[in-house]
Copies of this chain bind each other. A is one copy, B any other.
Amino acid sequence: MSVTVLRLGHRRIRDQRVTTHVCLVARAFGADGIFVCGEKDGGLLESVRKISKKWGGSFWIEFVESPVKTIREWKAAGGTVAHLTMYGEPLLGHVGAVGQEKKLLVVVGAEKVQPEIYKLADWNLAVTFEPHSEVAALAIVLDRYFGGAELTGEQPEELGAALKAKIGKQ
């Protein structure tokens, strides 16, 4: 069972802190790594890698040029894609099905998301129908996907293994 995150439309100055929060949430809530699209940002890469090294685990971060290409390749390799958007269907109606996926890409947007992403996604999921935060939406979806295993109080270095063990799957 594995989750990777795709962060769309990063802007170097304006989004640095919010994208950093997205990355750290991805890591703390059990994702393997994150693809970031948008403006190249060496400071973001360095900051996330530094924190990952200090706190343990094998979380990775990588810039990609085209989100559409990344999603197509993900699907071609047998993965499925959940795009989080307030214009999607309510999360609770699909959380059971999404929770069965063994190789899931969770896509979180920035200001505007191109229509192609909605079409390519297997699910467009709304974490409430209200405007709030991609940081929160990602946390809620990962929390449901892993059944709250990240909240049990395991030590940091055991987190990845603990999440996998608690959900009883690979």
State the A residues within 8 Å of B (CB).
14, 17-18, 21, 24-25, 27-29, 51, 55, 89-93, 126-133, 135-140, 143, 148, 150-156, 159
Contacts and interface: CB of A to CB of B under 8 A. Distances in A.
Given A126-B153, A143-B140, A148 B21 contact: no
The secondary-structure label for the interface of chain A is helix
Nearest to A15: B17
Contacts of A154: 129
Contact of A131 (B51, B92, B148): B51
Contact of A127 (B92, B132, B135, B151): B151
18 contacts: A14-B17, A18-B18, A21-B132, A24-B130, A24-B132, A25-B132, A25-B133, A28-B132, A29-B128, A89-B153, A90-B151, A90-B153, A92-B148, A128-B151, A136-B136, A137-B139, A140-B140, A143-B143
A140 B139 CA distance: 7
A14 B27 CA distance: 23
Contacts of A27: 130, 132
Given A91-B151, A151-B90, A156 B136 contact: no
Which 10 pairs, one residue from A and one from B, show the smallest C-beta to C-beta distance? A90-B153, A136-B139, A28-B130, A21-B133, A28-B132, A24-B132, A135-B135, A25-B136, A92-B151, A28-B128
